[in-house]
A and B are shown apart, each in its own frame.
Chain A
């Protein structure tokens, strides 16, 4: 059975919704084409943002045997992509268009040991891995980082299931994670699977590289929805095409340019493949690189960006009135 990369769209009925942490809602779906789910899988969902259709990806947290029901959990982030607002509006009985589970973050069975690291809503991708490793009797640790207990979904269930194998780091209890110590404590042949905010993942990546660990042992998934800065609206211009658009805080630059009718090339829409890269001709802005395609060396000069996930933020200081002028990017596209 191959890992599935080919989207098969289907209808799903919302069976139940439940708040499982501050701002996080668990949504149980009954797909019309059930298929057993595996850890690391996600579904793509058609959402409406201000009445316009868009696609968002959500990790499958768990599923019933055979996949007759599967659960996702959505963190409501009013400041960024508007899909979460739509998802939080769902009620039991409503119909939703979703794909069959897609796999981009497979857990390899048979590694000598595992470290699982989840930050915030990233637990949705990691919880299923932990459950499977426990069932298989594997050597694993689960590290779960959050701002506060109230904001950490499934913490009690995970604690009951994994006991001493779970370590929770709660920021507002002074338990912040020491990333350096975490990576230093990883066994040479261990695999580390992580999903969480970009700052956390970036810190782990750096520590991993500094220690000289095998880079294929570090596994992660990013949907490109976590940045170094809060998402804010910015202006993008393409002089050659006479295009100027405002990129809203709840959409990507790629989506905004497509909305303006620019013939854009792209593929993964999560900052991995590099097909959507654009040249930056001029900028009155800082670039919030949210992709994993460019190396640090390539990101630093700010002359190119992956427009599916990366954003511009104002470089100007906040004025006395509390307002900041919008960031402006001048780019060219292939």
Chain B
């Protein structure tokens, strides 16, 4: 008997990343006109800086001449970067403006300058075909710089393939086991969830009704409603946006006050903003922030929430690192899928389709771990 190969989505252990996409290269405040930030985005080393008039620039971090890293050079003039080795200069468009020991410029002397956008407190770069770099494709992270939301975040340098982070965020049943002291509770793995998708996004919705608020949420409720006691309705609505942004609408409201039907006035609402930028096949820059839409004036709450989430995400980071190590240590073992992976599997399928459209394989060709 033969069995037809009918799988429509693979479960690659090391997923490749699309190039025709916007990736966050850094926080807005990390990229300045006073120095050059060296950062690898989607496998491409970049020299990131700002021009004198504040425009962010992303150049390939290798001089045209002998590939010395431009990020070790210096900024000169209005928008130029000077190679630390032989002093060649390039402008923001990546064109050489000065070469040593000659009166002319070789017309071929350029370094790639990538399309850049600054929005939602991040500087985004597009490393693929520049003719496809449409600002409308930027993921919706409007809570990051809206008057109706306040908060802050950090960056995790996660030692794992970026897709493991997406898996982590698309299925929050892990909270019960990884984050038992803060946001975990038994109801997480018991509650039903619903998954929907379109061409660019995937949504996973989970409601837990009439439950005790875990410590993190009891504190938040009391920030808005001092002395709050009692049961809550809790929600987690996970919004994935291609290629690697996940914004999670989270919150609790006094049980039975209509939150599942749309009235959240007796509750607290946060948005966990995550955008994950592949660095190498086995590492990524994980930019996150926790935004809230209550007590906007309180820097104390902003700091407490940032520190609290920092602790929670530290638990994830440790798990992701251990998981990547186990993946590399068990090259002959495959991934298997559970019902809870529904959201993550849709994410994989969107990423695989994008990779296929770029003519690239979904799985990173297997190589020695630690590459």
- Cβ distance B173 to chain A, nearest Cβ, rounded Å: 38
Stretch binding the partner chain, chosen from B21-29, B125-133, B210-218: B125-133
Residues of chain A within 8 A of B115, CB atoms compared: 109-110
Contact A295 B130 (CB under 8 A): no
Given A3-B112, A216-B93, CB of A293 within 8 Å of CB of B104:
yes
Say yes or no: is A331 at the interface (Cβ < 8 Å to chain B). no
Say yes or no: is A220 at the interface (Cβ < 8 Å to chain B). yes
A293 to B109, CA, bound (A): 12
Stretch binding the partner chain, chosen from B95-103, B189-197, B260-268: B95-103
Stretch binding the partner chain, chosen from A113-121, A246-254, A266-274: A266-274
- Cβ distance B117 to chain A, nearest Cβ, rounded Å: 11
A295 to B106, CA, bound (A): 11
Say yes or no: is B185 at the interface (Cβ < 8 Å to chain A). no
Residues of chain A within 8 A of B103, CB atoms compared: 294-295, 297-298
- Cβ distance A272 to chain B, nearest Cβ, rounded Å: 5
Say yes or no: is B12 at the interface (Cβ < 8 Å to chain A). no
Residue from B96, B115, B128, B130 with most neighbouring chain A CB atoms (10 Å): B130
Say yes or no: is A323 at the interface (Cβ < 8 Å to chain B). no
Nearest neighbor of A268 in chain B, beta-carbon distance: B108
Say yes or no: is A136 at the interface (Cβ < 8 Å to chain B). yes
Contact B104 A216 (CB under 8 A): no
Please list the residues of chain B having a beta carbon within 8 angstroms of any beta carbon in chain A: 19, 60, 91, 93, 95-97, 102-108, 110, 112-113, 115, 127-131, 133, 359
Given A110-B115, A132-B131, A216-B91, CB of A221 within 8 Å of CB of B107:
yes
Please list the residues of chain A having a beta carbon within 8 angstroms of any beta carbon in chain B: 1-3, 66, 104-106, 108-110, 132, 135-136, 215-216, 219-222, 268, 272-274, 292-295, 297-298
Residues of chain A within 8 A of B60, CB atoms compared: 2
Contact B131 A109 (CB under 8 A): yes
Q: A135-B131, A272-B106, A292-B106 are in contact. List 11 more A-B contacts (CB 8 A).
A: A108-B93, A109-B133, A136-B131, A216-B91, A216-B95, A216-B105, A221-B107, A273-B106, A294-B103, A295-B103, A297-B103
From B102, B107, B113, B359, A219 is in contact (CB under 8 Å) with B107
Contact A1 B19 (CB under 8 A): yes
Contact A272 B107 (CB under 8 A): yes
- Cβ distance A57 to chain B, nearest Cβ, rounded Å: 12
Contact A108 B106 (CB under 8 A): no
Contact A110 B102 (CB under 8 A): no
Query: Could you jot down 5 A-B contacts, CB within 8 Å?
Result: A108-B113, A215-B97, A216-B91, A216-B93, A272-B106
A295 to B91, CA, bound (A): 21
**Chain A interface mostly:** loop
List the 6 closest pairs (A to B, CB-CB), nearest first: A295-B103, A216-B95, A109-B130, A104-B108, A272-B106, A295-B104
Nearest neighbor of A5 in chain B, beta-carbon distance: B108
Nearest neighbor of B60 in chain A, beta-carbon distance: A2
Given A2-B112, A110-B130, A216-B97, CB of A293 within 8 Å of CB of B91:
no
A273 to B107, CA, bound (A): 9
A328 to B268, CA, bound (A): 90
- Cβ distance A281 to chain B, nearest Cβ, rounded Å: 22
- Cβ distance B55 to chain A, nearest Cβ, rounded Å: 12
Residues of chain A within 8 A of B93, CB atoms compared: 108, 216
Residues of chain A within 8 A of B131, CB atoms compared: 109, 132, 135-136
A207 to B232, CA, bound (A): 75
A298 to B101, CA, bound (A): 13
Residues of chain A within 8 A of B102, CB atoms compared: 274, 293
Residues of chain B within 8 A of A106, CB atoms compared: 110
A297 to B103, CA, bound (A): 9
- Cβ distance B335 to chain A, nearest Cβ, rounded Å: 29
Contact B108 A272 (CB under 8 A): yes
Residues of chain B within 8 A of A222, CB atoms compared: 107
Residue from A106, A215, A216 with most neighbouring chain B CB atoms (10 Å): A216
From A2, A220, A295, A298, B107 is in contact (CB under 8 Å) with A220
A1 to B127, CA, bound (A): 7
A294 to B102, CA, bound (A): 8
Residues of chain B within 8 A of A135, CB atoms compared: 131
Residues of chain A within 8 A of B19, CB atoms compared: 1
Contact B128 A1 (CB under 8 A): yes
- Cβ distance A114 to chain B, nearest Cβ, rounded Å: 13
Residues of chain B within 8 A of A3, CB atoms compared: 112
Nearest neighbor of B99 in chain A, beta-carbon distance: A274
A220 to B359, CA, bound (A): 31
A215 to B96, CA, bound (A): 10
A302 to B175, CA, bound (A): 78
A184 to B274, CA, bound (A): 50
Given A2-B60, A132-B131, A216-B93, CB of A293 within 8 Å of CB of B107:
no
- Cβ distance A58 to chain B, nearest Cβ, rounded Å: 17
Given A1-B128, A216-B91, CB of A293 within 8 Å of CB of B106:
yes
Contact A215 B108 (CB under 8 A): no
Contact A294 B107 (CB under 8 A): no
Nearest neighbor of A273 in chain B, beta-carbon distance: B106
A173 to B112, CA, bound (A): 42
Contact B104 A294 (CB under 8 A): yes
A220 to B131, CA, bound (A): 20
Residues of chain A within 8 A of B359, CB atoms compared: 66
Contact B107 A292 (CB under 8 A): yes
Residues of chain A within 8 A of B113, CB atoms compared: 108
- Cβ distance A7 to chain B, nearest Cβ, rounded Å: 14
Nearest neighbor of A106 in chain B, beta-carbon distance: B110
Residue from A2, A66, A109, A295 with most neighbouring chain B CB atoms (10 Å): A109
A222 to B95, CA, bound (A): 17
A104 to B64, CA, bound (A): 12
- Cβ distance A263 to chain B, nearest Cβ, rounded Å: 23
Residues of chain B within 8 A of A292, CB atoms compared: 104, 106-107
A164 to B112, CA, bound (A): 32
Nearest neighbor of A298 in chain B, beta-carbon distance: B103
Nearest neighbor of A270 in chain B, beta-carbon distance: B108
- Cβ distance A1 to chain B, nearest Cβ, rounded Å: 6
- Cβ distance B69 to chain A, nearest Cβ, rounded Å: 16
Residues of chain A within 8 A of B97, CB atoms compared: 215-216
A99 to B200, CA, bound (A): 37
Residues of chain B within 8 A of A295, CB atoms compared: 103-104
A1 to B359, CA, bound (A): 12
Residues of chain A within 8 A of B129, CB atoms compared: 1
Residues of chain A within 8 A of B104, CB atoms compared: 292-295
Residue from A1, A136, A297 with most neighbouring chain B CB atoms (10 Å): A1
